[in-house]
Amino acid sequence: MVKAAASRRPPSSSKPETKSNWKYLLLATVIGLSYLICSVLEGMVDKFYIFTPEELHAVATVSMSRNSETRGVIDDIVAQLKESHPGRSINLDEDMYIIHASITEYLIIFGTALGTEGHTGRHTADDYFSILEGEQWAYEADSLTKEVYPKGSVHHLKRGTVKQYKMPDTCWAMEYARGWIPLMLPFGYADTFFSTFDFHTLWRTSFITGREMIGNLLHGKV
């Protein structure tokens, strides 16, 4: 009598499941280490700053008291900062009006001779606008009133805050950002890729900013 061979299912292999577990473990490790590194750096960021908002506002105030024209105010600001921060930290680029750029700080002259308005973006840095000429308006989403910042005042856009802003006419400001500056750059890039297609200005801005960031890093300024 021939016995029917019992059907057997081949033993299942646990290798695929083991590989999958290792992937999840590796992913969790990377996320955990990234969070730890970011937390440590966030706790140290204040040590990397070389400017303070109070210092810069005082510099702008003195410059405005000495000069009636914006060009003279800008030159005076740069001269004062070169004296108080000798070395490589202050390096005005006349084309883009970038006074300082590093991983944790940037200082620029921002504005327009014709007026402009737009969205501030939501950033990982505090942004201070010292108004040198004209007037800047702002509006926060949960507010029913307009914020007005005249010449000599400072508009503080707090980290993580978003507003609509407007310069109704000629307006120039010294903009100082402190925080993680590289994470702010995609906001500026997006306008080029999806609106203006002004790749020449994008290249110039990126080149100068990158040059200054790397140069400051080589001199120990994060």
Instruction: HSE, CB side, 13 Å, CA atoms: give it for residue 20.
Output: 5
The pair of structure tokens assigned to 61 is 């105030």
Give the pLDDT confidence score for residue 15 in this predicted structure.
58
86-100: b (≥16 Cβ within 10 Å) or e: eeebbbbbeebbbbb
- pLDDT, tens digit, 9 for 90 and up, residues 136-175: 999 998 888 999 999 999 999 999 999 999 999 999 999 9
Residues 85 and 180: their CA atoms lie apart, in Å, by 21
Give the pLDDT confidence score for residue 92 in this predicted structure.
73
Ranked by mean pLDDT, the top range of 37-41, 135-139, 183-187 is 135-139
* 5: helix, strand or coil: coil
**Percentage of the chain surpassing pLDDT 90?**
50
- pLDDT, tens digit, 9 for 90 and up, residues 84-116: 998 777 777 666 789 999 999 999 999 999 999
Give the pLDDT confidence score for residue 151 in this predicted structure.
96
Give the pLDDT confidence score for residue 12 in this predicted structure.
55
Residues 128 and 51: their CA atoms lie apart, in Å, by 12
The DSSP string of 61-114 is: HHHHHH-SSHHHHHHHHHHHHHHHS-SSS---BTTTTEEEE-SSEEEEEEEESS
219 confidence band (pLDDT: 50, 70, 90): confident
Residues 114 and 131: their CA atoms lie apart, in Å, by 16
Residues 64 and 69: their CA atoms lie apart, in Å, by 8
> What's the pTM value of the predicted model, to 2 decimals?
0.81
In this model, does residue 77 exceed pLDDT 80?
A: yes
For residue 177, list its beta bridge partners.
106, 127
In this model, does residue 213 exceed pLDDT 70?
A: yes
Tell me which residue of 64, 87, 88, 86 sits closest to 75, measured CA to CA: 64
Q: Which of 52-66, 97-111, 127-141, 191-205 has the lowest mean pLDDT?
A: 191-205
Give the pLDDT confidence score for residue 69 in this predicted structure.
93
Give the pLDDT confidence score for residue 183 in this predicted structure.
87
- Segment 14-41 mean pLDDT: 69
What is the CATH class of 48-218? Answer: mainly beta
Residue 191: what are its φ and ψ, rounded to 5°? -65, -35
56 confidence band (pLDDT: 50, 70, 90): very high
